Structure 1
């Protein structure tokens, strides 16, 4: 008799997509509202650079968030993290002045930094190796959708009340989701709705070398592993693109391309929609190559390299004379970024054991956010003097260097 394999694991990843939507909605509201806030609060580009930099400093503590999740578990640990970032998001409605924004952004980054480690731990625990890429792509769609929803939310909030209302709504949605997660999530070994056939299917498709170990993960031991640097350094070079799209693109469209808030709401979500397609394109490339007998790690490296090649189009954004051509190139950048970003993020679950994957993903995320921090501070300090064009050119070539590092440092498991 053939046992029917359930699909409850996909219900779990769908629930987590909601967290990613809320996570990136909460962090994107500031970027969309920036033209209004900076004018109202008399905040300069340099000060805005420090505000965005403070967020990256908070997110750079991802290793601590990952260690917390590996130690406490996803049900309780992630509930706490989502509740904290939701309350901090709502607190944005009460603040005035650039220093207050910077303090809240640091706290927000600290709490929101838990999302990617949580996602990688979820994928490692709930999916066989052949489905991890698709699962990672699906939950990362939430990141893009959160950024898609931010422009219309901010525009509506400004028309109805003020930009402060957008922060209250985004935070309130997060609190509701945290309660739903606590009530409905549990680990695969304990979840009452997971059937035995599906549980066996998940376990049989996972690598024995990645089984959870008795000892707790050691950050120092992970830092000595070549594989960690092989995924962390490419992320450090890749993530500034997402920082540009999330925090600086609305300002660029307003101050360089002459867009008003209505036009920003109309066009600023398009690169994130393209990014959604990239979330699925990267895993599709990996699956295509695996069907042609390419090793999993090599397939991921080729997908990253393809995304890096497409990212070179970003170098021409500042040179485009037509603003809609610039939007199209930003869309290509969003698509290319998520193609390669989802690929390298998922590699944490290919290379590290279940009880260390969140810590490893957090350490790689710290490197990625260090890249965004450096980029944001440089942009804030220099944009008034040199313009945006040199930064777009830099974004167009950094991922090619990342591809070389990925091929050089990551070793295929024996």
Structure 2
């Protein structure tokens, strides 16, 4: 009896030590909803083009205006998060972008579609900088790569789940229902997050032992973090910040091509039907999920075994993944057969996702603790402001050449350049 009681106590202590991972699950779910609200356009695109007479360039333009508004709003969103806190900003952002998603389902003209996508970009901008900031509160530096890899995998879970789920909704209720349902889901989640989330030192479900562990390597909460002497605008003076901006631009360029055009590529080039699209369009994103989580795990192991520092571990992973992604993406147009194509697309997203996860985690290592959201948002600004061109450029290439080959080859080359940026430019943290 005593042995059984002792075993239960041990299990209780072990669970208490791991409550921080529950926070990651909430971030993961929020990120999935975020990407469902982005991916619904790519799923609805074939039906929208038929019903409203839109072209591939039009769909690319909708992807571009979202990216531009999303990118521009990164700059104020990072400052707002650092200034007013994660909980308030994230909840408001969730409700905003969910409303914009529902609005997309109600409009009929290209101009109003553009307006709805602009509003979506504004609302979604604080999402991932908030997650980076929350991670800096809840996790010591050696665990941030893995924690970030888990919640950043939401950007692959969303597109992976979207095809079967959203195609079913579209076939059953029509393409407009995609936007209504995913928007309503976000509002429900926003309410749940507001009720659940507290910073570590305010959480009643967190044991003192785990709180001390979290605080042991610079984490904690707003109250425990010393305000940086560096002003926000001065962040642009640092070499590492510019390396992150340029490197993420190279990453998001190819990322946006996959996000916007993957379903159309499978439909137009490989003859995948609408019903089959629900299965095949989700397969490559499974590789992205693996790349995110395994990449984060790998960087943690490199640090745990004292092979290298947290910063260098992430730079190594990003650089190697960028080179591998370049070769794989460039090979896509030269293979034949759906199975081989899906294998290459899956492998490409595995490498690209390892890059995005480690890049977000890198913000927590490069930035002063009080400016993690700002540096993460600035990096994301560079990625999406520059990467915003890729959907419309790819759409123009497809419309003018009737082929996706040049879009993939140019995207692969640009992705490979991320290795140069993160390895040679991002080399030391910002010092107060």
Q: TM-score if structure 1 supplies the norm length?
A: 0.95
- Is 1:327 aligned to 2:316, yes or no? no
Whether 2:23 is the aligned partner of 1:17: answer no
Residue 180 of structure 1 corresponds to which residue in structure 2? Answer: 192
Among 241, 266, 285, the alignment partner of 1:272 is: 285
Residue in 1 that maps onto 2:142: 130
Work out whether 1:396 is the aligned partner of 2:407: no
What SS does the aligned partner of 1:189 have?
Answer: helix
- Aligned twin of 2:155: 143
Alignment-derived partner of residue 310 in structure 1: 324
Q: 1:28 to 1:358 in 2, by over 3 A?
A: same
The number of equivalent residue pairs is 412
Report if aligned partners of 1:26, 1:171 keep a CA contact under 8 Å in 2.
yes
Deviation of the 1:35 alpha carbon: 0.9
Deviation (angstroms), 1:333 = 1.1
Whether the aligned pair in 2 keeps the contact of 1:63 and 1:361 (CA below 8 Å) is no
Pairwise CA distance, 1:30: 0.6
Moved more, 382-391 or 214-223: 214-223
Per-residue CA distance 1:34-76 (angstroms, 9 max, x = gap): 1111111101222222211110011102121111111111111
What SS is found at the alignment partner of 2:370? Answer: coil
Gaps of 5+ in 2: 1-9
Deviation at 1:134, TM superposition (A): 0.7
The Cα shift of 1:7 comes to: 1.5
Post-superposition Cα deviations, 1:103-132, rounded to whole Å, max 9, x if no partner, equal: 111110111121110111011111001110
Q: CA deviation at 1:237?
A: 0.2
Q: Quick check: 2:60–2:260 contact (8 Å CA) kept in 1?
A: no
Q: Contact 1:125 / 1:188 at 8 angstroms: preserved in 2?
A: yes
Q: Is the 8 A contact 1:90 1:171 kept in 2?
A: yes
User: Aligned-pair distance for 1:295?
Assistant: 2.0
Equivalent residues of 1:148, 1:272 under 8 A apart: yes
The 5 Å alignment of 1:80-95 reads 80-95=92-107
Tell me the distance in 2 between the aligned counterparts of 1:154 and 1:411: 42
Equivalent-residue separation in structure 2 for 1:84 and 1:207 (angstroms): 29
Match of 2:52 in 1: 41
In 2: Cα distance, 1:214 partner to 1:284 partner? 30
Residues 1:226 and 2:239 are matched in the alignment: yes
Please give the TM-score of this superposition, normalised by the length of structure 2. 0.91
User: Offset at 1:241?
Assistant: 2.3
Query: What aligned pairs does 1:145-160 form with structure 2 within 5 A after superposition?
Result: 145-160=157-172
What is the RMSD computed on CA atoms of the aligned residues? 2.0
Once residues 215 and 346 of structure 1 are traced to their aligned partners in structure 2, the CA distance between those partners, rounded to angstroms, is: 19
Write the distance in 2 (CA, Å) between the matches of 1:42 and 1:88.
Answer: 23
Deviation of 1:334 (Å): 0.8
What SS does the aligned partner of 1:356 have? Answer: helix
SS of the residue corresponding to residue 22 of structure 1 reads helix
Measure how far apart 1:286 and its partner are. Answer: 1.5
SS of 2:171's partner is helix
Deviation per CA, 1:330-363, whole angstroms, max 9, x where unpaired?
1111111011111112100011122211111111
Given the alignment, which residue of 364, 372, 377 partners 2:379?
364
- The 8 Å contact of residues 289 and 350 in structure 2, kept in 1 or not, is answered as yes
Cα distance in 1 for residues equivalent to 2:95 and 2:364 = 26
